[in-house]
Structure formats: structure tokens, C-alpha cells
Amino acid sequence: MKAIVTVIGEDKKGIIAAVSGELLKLNANVEDISQTLMGGNFVMMMMVDVSESDEIGAIGEKLSVLGKKIGVDIRIQHEDIFNSMHRI
């Protein structure tokens, strides 16, 4: 199963390392990543394969805890839900 992870917050060192490291611990594989700076804010989207991971809700809880720890907002959505929400 594919999922989309979004990370938004003030830019600082180590965000990508922290998020990708946590995904590794959760047995999720990063398949694609896009990141940019927008007006001093760090914005990242990752497509991840979570087929060998825990249930997506449990992954989301752990990523949320990490986000609070490093000062960013981290969310995960099933790829189909993300695509439906962002369809024009």
C-alpha cells in the first residue's frame, strides 16, 4: 500500500534525516520525495510504501509524536485519499 507523508514547518537542520529515519524504524520505504522552502517554511512530500508496516493510523501517531519533537507538522494519508482530495 502506498501513502503520502507531508511535513510542514519552520526550516531547520535534520528534518529529512529525522523523518526518513523514523520511517525506516516503521518499516516503510520512501519511494519518492519532493521538498522545497516556501517563505522560510520547509515543505516536504514523500510517497512511501507501507505494505510491510503497521496500520496507517499507528504510523500516523508515531509520525505526529516525532513532528512535535522536532517542531514540524507531519501527516500521513493513504495514497487514494490524498489523490481524491487533491483532484482538480
User: Mean per-residue pLDDT for 29-58?
Assistant: 94
pLDDT in tens, 64-86: 999 999 999 999 998 666 556 66
Question: For the chain, which domains are there?
Answer: 2-85 (3.30.70.260)
Q: Which residues contact 57 (CB under 8 A, 6 or more apart)?
A: none
**For 17-42, what is each residue's pLDDT tens digit?**
999 999 999 999 999 999 999 988 99
pTM: 0.87
Q: How confident is the model at residue 54 (pLDDT cuts 50, 70, 90)?
A: confident
Distance CA 63, CA 73 (A): 9
Q: Is the pLDDT of residue 8 over 60?
A: yes
- pLDDT for the residue numbered 82: 57
**DSSP annotation of 58:** H
Distance CA 86, CA 70 (A): 27
